[in-house]
A and B are shown apart, each in its own frame.
Chain A
Amino acid sequence: MEIESKVVLTDASRLIIEGLARAGADSFIGYPITPANLLYYYASKRFSFMMPAPDEITTMQWMSGLSASGRLPVTATSFPGFALMIESVNMAFMMELPMVIVLAQRLGPATGTATCGAQGDLSLLHGMISGGHQIPVICISDFYDAWTLAAEAVRTAVRLRTPVVLLTSKEMVMTHRSFNLSELENIKKVKVKEYNKEAPYKPYQPEKNLVPPFLHAGNDKHQVRITASTHDMSGILQHSTEEALANTIRLDKKSAENIEEFIHFDYFYEQKAETIVVTYGITAAAATEACEMADDERIKVSLLVAKTLLPVPKLYYDFLSRYKRVVFCEENLNAQFARIIYGDRLPSHVSHVGAIGKMISPEDILKALK
């Protein structure tokens, strides 16, 4: 007997690009880099507008221009490309231009191994904005996230008027799975509201939520000034006036104070557990499996799959403070998320299950829980 089904064999790249497009992202600028190749390929078919750029600096500059024009641009890259983008990401952050950067991690340092996965770029994301400001980093932990969080990245970029990084890795974007499409939730197109009042427009005059209303450069009604340099609310370059520094301080607070707008995590609370496993991204599947195996062995463990990684939601600290032991599972050498949360010298109750050149297995994690 045949069963009605919407089961397909797909990779996460396809779900990410479709999710971004349905949420309203309309333009894709890219340079082909492994392991973001599939994202680039799908984007060329699905986005309203797609341009191959000669390099990643050009990519981010073109995206910034598109965003300033009122478009919602996306790119997909990996560390070597992202490294080239960073000055321009700072520019887009300072200009407060909505856009999404899909960062598919691979094994570094440098060009490392292009076709090998990793979770080695979170420290970079944490420290990439001069001044220590944080831009939203949302991380995909399974194929459903590939769909829903792609759309969420677009929503966050628009709501907060900011670049957003959608973090993933090779083993997520290039792996195929059987997947039931009927389980995907409907994605609504994000509405971009532009400033439409009669009063003169000040591009960096924030509303109560610290986000200034957006208006695209080139409109017929109000002058728009956009700048990457320290500026006042009118968008005019200043050295260090009170108003200009207040703007820079506002930028530092904007993401953190709006964290409720884009906080996503899965918290599996286990009664009487004294240990919590913390993970994100590609390691979430192994961690979930490890916790199930632990349960079979009557080991009580809670699990936090963090999806909003930066700025670190305060709620995570509340969760972690309830446990005597915290085990971070992330595919790197140096417990990057743990160090962002606790600092370089990890407290004695915090440990790390890590790996490079291979995924962390459930058995690796279970061993640490015993």
Chain B
Amino acid sequence: MSKFLNSEHLPFCKGCGHDQIAKHTAKALENMGLSPLDVIIVTDIGCHGIIDASMNTHTVHGLHGRSVALGAGIALGKKEKHKKIIVFIGDGGVTIGLQHLLEASRLNIDMTVIIHNNFLYGMTGGQTSGLTPTGFNTTTSPHGNTFNQYDICELVHKAGASYASRIIGIGDYSAKLEEAFRIEGCSIVEVFEVCTGYGVKFNPGRKLREVVEASGKTEQVWRNERPPFAAVFREKTASLLDELKTVSAIEPGPLSEPVRLIISGSAGEGVQSAASLLAKLAIETGYQVTLKGSYPVTVGVGFSTAEIIISPEEILYHGTTIPDMVIITSADGLKHNLKKIKNMKQGKLLIDASLEAPPTGAEVKYIDFRSHGDKLAVLVALLHFAKESKVVGIPEMKAAIQNSRGAEKILNLEI
């Protein structure tokens, strides 16, 4: 008996092709001089999956259709590089998890996938799969499958697998499996067999070779000359904290109460970047800061709002129900903040001169933010914030924005 198996009698129906796949796998591995613990067998849901208990290798048994992805994860993470990952999956599992085969092939992950193609979902009652040949009878297509079947070997070959092969599961094909096992990269083998439980019953008199040939397929090998994917675990990576610029705060500024500011304009016009510049300057000025961004999920379309709280003390809640100052640089920004502006009982609204302010208790100032260009509007707004709030100085604000694109055009503005 093979050292890879713990029993001669495998748990399959009499005459089932799964039995031969398991035994030929064991024979091929033995022929390669491998030990059982050199191999990790990953199995899918389906009749083939119950082989685990009979294998002396490491075994991993997962979900229906997902074994290729699970095996890929093991291949990516394996610490002993010489270990061989072999995935067993049925044609039903391939239909469910086709993406996983294509992805493993595209990346050329170093493992072998053996597709037990018996033309139907066996364990669940003989239903048609995506690999059932046209015309083949199943419990859900008793008058013949009317759909086309995937050519899985062509698909994985096109996706980039190093190796693919079709085998008609008759006789000793262990040498063909061994060829696949020796490939460095992704090797995918499709073994045809007929399910003795449902395939034979619903297709009386049809023989395996005839079914395969009627579907236009023959035994064949495909190759792509590609290196396998090499998963590299970096020894050392830089701390994310080292990237942060430590702000040297001067003694706290004159604020005694928090200032809640909203800057709002159009996405793509630099609102969030400008808010970040202001936040850093406020920290340098000795204050605590929160910066909450709000924008639609699309990039570069619609509003972009930044809510900034600048406070002499710790800030807990970072939302802004009623702001002290609102700066609106575009119609998108105005639309998004109408309610908050209307609810203001005091404070200031700085709004682009092209827009009409809604009724509000805030002091309204119309300012031409946009005449220097859409992208500069929010930087002009920051200078006006410095002037109106006195939270930060205008020269300091100019220094903070001076490296922003186009800032040189506005640095000499009289504010």
Contact = CB atoms under 8 A, between A and B. Distances in A.
B77 A88 contact: no
B74 A7 contact: no
B93 to A, nearest CB: 12
A55 B237 contact: no
A309 to B, nearest CB: 20
Nearest to A27: B77
Interface stretch (B60-68, B143-151, B217-225, B402-410): B60-68
Contact of B240 (A6, A14, A175, A223): A14
A69 B78 contact: yes
A195 to B, nearest CB: 14
A7 B247 CA distance: 6
Contacts of A363: 321
Interface string B240-278: 110011111111000000000000000000000000100
A2 interface: yes
Nearest to A184: B241
A266 to B, nearest CB: 13
A241 interface: no
B36 A359 contact: no
B251 A115 contact: no
Interface stretch (B126-134, B183-191, B312-320, B366-374): B312-320
B59 A225 contact: yes
Given A27-B233, A223-B57, A358-B319, A61 B70 contact: yes
A325 interface: no
Contacts of A226: 59-61
A220 B80 contact: yes
Interface in A156-213: 171, 174-178, 181
Interface string B283-305: 10001111111111100000000
Contacts of B244: 8-10, 14, 181
Interface stretch (A42-50, A126-134, A245-253, A336-344): A42-50
Contacts of A2: 248-250
A3 B318 CA distance: 25
B411 to A, nearest CB: 23
Contact of B296 (A17, A27, A115): A115
Given A3-B249, A18-B240, A62-B69, A220 B37 contact: yes
Given A65-B69, A65-B75, A286 B319 contact: yes
Contacts of A114: 297
Contacts of B40: 217-218
Contacts of A17: 240
B52 A69 contact: no
A187 B69 CA distance: 32
Interface in B42-80: 42, 50, 52-53, 56-63, 66, 69-80
Interface in A83-107: 87-88, 91, 95
A54 B104 CA distance: 11
Interface in A59-79: 61-71, 73
B241 to A, nearest CB: 6
B100 A61 contact: yes
Nearest to A116: B294
Nearest to A5: B249
Counting chain B residues whose Cβ lies within 8 A of the other chain, the interface size class is 35 or more
Contact of B62 (A91, A177, A362): A91
A235 interface: yes
Contact of B66 (A47, A57, A66, A221): A57
A286 B75 CA distance: 46
B31 interface: no
A236 B250 contact: no
A358 B103 CA distance: 39
Contacts of A18: 239-241
B234 interface: yes
Contact of A175 (B233, B235, B291, B321): B291
A176 B276 contact: yes
B80 A49 contact: no
A48 B245 CA distance: 24
B99 interface: yes
B281 to A, nearest CB: 10
Nearest to B251: A1
Given A88-B63, A236-B52, A359-B317, A61 B289 contact: no
Contact of A42 (B233, B240, B246, B250): B240
Given A7-B247, A8-B247, A359-B319, A68 B241 contact: no
B53 A236 contact: yes
B1 interface: no
B176 interface: no
B375 interface: no
A57 B237 contact: no
B75 A61 contact: no
A218 B283 CA distance: 52
B83 interface: yes
B291 A62 contact: no
Contacts of A358: 319
Contacts of A87: 63
B24 interface: no
A271 interface: no
Contacts of A220: 37, 80
Contacts of A333: none
A1 B69 contact: no
**Ordered nearest first, which 10 A-B pairs have the shortest CB separation?**
A65-B73, A69-B77, A61-B69, A66-B77, A62-B73, A65-B74, A285-B316, A227-B61, A176-B291, A8-B244
9 contacts: A62-B72, A64-B70, A67-B77, A69-B73, A88-B63, A177-B315, A218-B58, A224-B59, A237-B50
Given A2-B248, A7-B246, A218-B80, 19 more contacts: A21-B237, A27-B233, A61-B72, A61-B100, A62-B72, A63-B73, A65-B75, A67-B77, A69-B77, A115-B296, A175-B292, A177-B289, A177-B315, A216-B79, A218-B74, A227-B52, A228-B63, A237-B53, A289-B317
